[in-house]
Amino acid sequence: MCGIVGYLGNKKAYPILLDGLLKLEYRGYDSAGISTIENNHISILKDKGRVNNLASLPDINKLSGTIGIAHTRWATHGKPSRENSHPHMDNSNTFSVVHNGIIENYQELKNFLMSNGYHFISDTDTEVIPNLIHYYYEIDKSNNNRFLHAVSSAIKNLKGSYAIEVICKLHPDTMIVARKDSPLVIGKGNHENFVCSDIPAILSYTKSFYLLNDGDIAELFVDNINFYNDSLEPISKELKNIDWDTSAAEKDGYDDYMLKEIHEQPKAIRETMGSRLKANEPCNFDDLSLTEEYLKSINKIYIVACGTAMHAGLATKPIFEKLCNIPVFVDIASEFRYRNPIIDKNTLCIFISQSGETADTIAALKLSKAMKAKTLAITNVIASSITREADYTIYTHAGPEIAVASTKAYTSQVTLLSILAIYFAETLKVDKEEIIFSLKNDILQLPQKIESILKNVNTIKEFAHQICTEHDIFFLGRGTDYSVAMEGSLKLKEISYIHSEAYAGGELKHGPIALIENGITVIGIITDANLVEKSISNIQEVITRGAKTFIVTNQDLGNHTFNEVVRIPDINPLISPVLSIIPLQLLSYYISKAKELDVDKPRNLAKSVTVE
């Protein structure tokens, strides 16, 4: 879960590399480093902490090299420190490497290299890579292209995941990159080439990209790029144009990306609906070819994802089951492939990943394909890894999401999955025209209803300041409100570091109520008219035991007394999670701000989870 950038051309490399690292810092901010070739030797500057620490080093301005690699780290092997930060070099200071991923057999390789006289100065798995390249470079002196062949031989020994950039002081005009199960793209410029783990990092320099697949190796020069497969056989690559708006990744006057992205949700949902949803016409998914015959053959649907994306699956499980009469199972991607899931050619597996690079989700997708299930990816990032693995892909069109805590990606995912459920129902010709028509109109009104919530945040902000010093908070909900309780609890944990738990309201008395004591805060979500009485009874149970209560609702709660009530617009409970999560996103945001924390870059977390 690290960010990597590379440049070779006719300009100074370090300003471009620093700029890329700043745009990739949501991928990791434990440490950062830059390596350039300076007068036939490799110069490395790196430091613990944020990219700004690296940019403040006194020697950074002395770098004049026009070829370089850079890295911002989320630590896996070895604690955050200067020694463990990338780039790493071999013992002879000939090769420099940055790496995103995990080398699972690094200890075995380290032992092999140590037995051949190599020594190590870091605790990382990455340091074996430059030394292994040097090992093969030295034993293959007769090869006309020793650099390329040494890199190829080294990576054939690596087990796990990697995206690597390699430079060599003996080949100052060449960079070699390779990937397996970790994202890497190459941007083509005019007499210059760029490399990065995420397209937005270099989007201000080029919109022309080569997308690397697993096993690909690329040999870069200023005016040329050679592509190879894992057997070093030449292959061709299509140059793709990525027409994204670079301004979408800026703060636009907001204090933080998270607040900006919360306020972008009406626009993101409109873009996600696009031409797919109209009140009086069937839903349109031109990018899918799932026939009535196929949908009738489905025995179950699996929705597989991690974290917030998994909560989007839980939020939309009821709408698929109600409209399509197909059993839906929502599973955690990191668990799915280790428990021998019962899937076959009659199972549709839907995989959700905001970045399209989530390692656990991609691994689960590959397993499902091997077991003959149809696979459908839902992502926000065009041409991401998951799109190249899935049988079908549909995009949320939420725009770049920079804050680590997901907001607009979640509501866009819930919206898109809801439209997909309606599309399935219409394709199956189910006899539910009235509820489908009503749902369509409610979905179409989501953007303006979110806008009305965003105009009234004072109650939320005031309550956030009241509870920002608490250590434990509980979330309760029933039906779809329980999935919102889980997502609200996750948001609070992610950015405020307050311990929180989410429970289905009816489960409270089966153990968790033992944790309720005088003064503790309980947050309740109540949006289903059929569950109002039961939900209120659960809230009364905690009030009796001295809890403070914060309620998000669009229902008539009668004369019951709660500490704070936030009203949201009325909506069908099947899609209410899109509205009821907004106050909880804001509550988490304002608590984090009251605690003076870094909202966009919470500790220990990274945006794109590319390791298992």
Identity of the residue numbered 586: L
Assess whether 461 carries a catalytic annotation.
no
- CA–CA dist 118, 121 (Å, integer): 10
Tokens 């693995």 identify what position?
Answer: 389
> In the β-sheet with 472-477, what is the strand arrangement from edge to edge?
499-504, 472-477, 521-526, 548-553, 564-567
Give how far the C-alpha of residue 210 lies from the chain's centroid of Cα atoms, to the nearest Å.
21
Assess whether 2 carries a catalytic annotation.
yes
- CA–CA dist 75, 487 (Å, integer): 25
* Cβ-proximal residues to 365 (8 Å cutoff; 6+ apart), any chain: 304, 349, 351, 375, 377, 386, 389, 390
CA triplet 536, 540, 543: central angle to 5 degrees?
A: 140
144 burial level (CB within 10 Å; 0-12, 13-18, 19+): exposed
In contact, 165 and 171? CB cutoff 8 Å: no
- CA–CA dist 57, 46 (Å, integer): 9
Of 48, 548, 601, 607, the active-site residue reads 607
- CA–CA dist 578, 565 (Å, integer): 18
**Kind and range of the H or E run holding 392:** strand 392-395
How far from 487 is each of 437, 475, 553, CA to CA, in Å? Answer: 28, 10, 16
In contact, 14 and 60? CB cutoff 8 Å: yes
The C-alpha torsion from 422 through 585 and 448 to 438, rounded to 10°, is: 30
Q: How many CA atoms lie within 13 A of 586 on its CB side?
A: 22
Of 2, 196, 306, 349, the active-site residue reads 2
Radius of gyration over alpha carbons of the chain, in Å?
Answer: 26
- CA–CA dist 602, 591 (Å, integer): 13
Tokens 């992502």 identify what position?
Answer: 379
- CA–CA dist 325, 341 (Å, integer): 21
> In the β-sheet with 171-180, what is the strand arrangement from edge to edge?
88-89, 95-100, 162-168, 171-180, 217-220, 225-228, 234-235
| β strands within 9-78, DSSP E | 31-38, 41-48, 67-73
In contact, 4 and 183? CB cutoff 8 Å: no
- CA–CA dist 310, 332 (Å, integer): 7
- CA–CA dist 200, 384 (Å, integer): 12
Give how far the C-alpha of residue 594 lies from the chain's centroid of Cα atoms, to the nearest Å.
26
In contact, 276 and 412? CB cutoff 8 Å: no
- CA–CA dist 478, 529 (Å, integer): 11
Residues tagged active-site: 2, 607
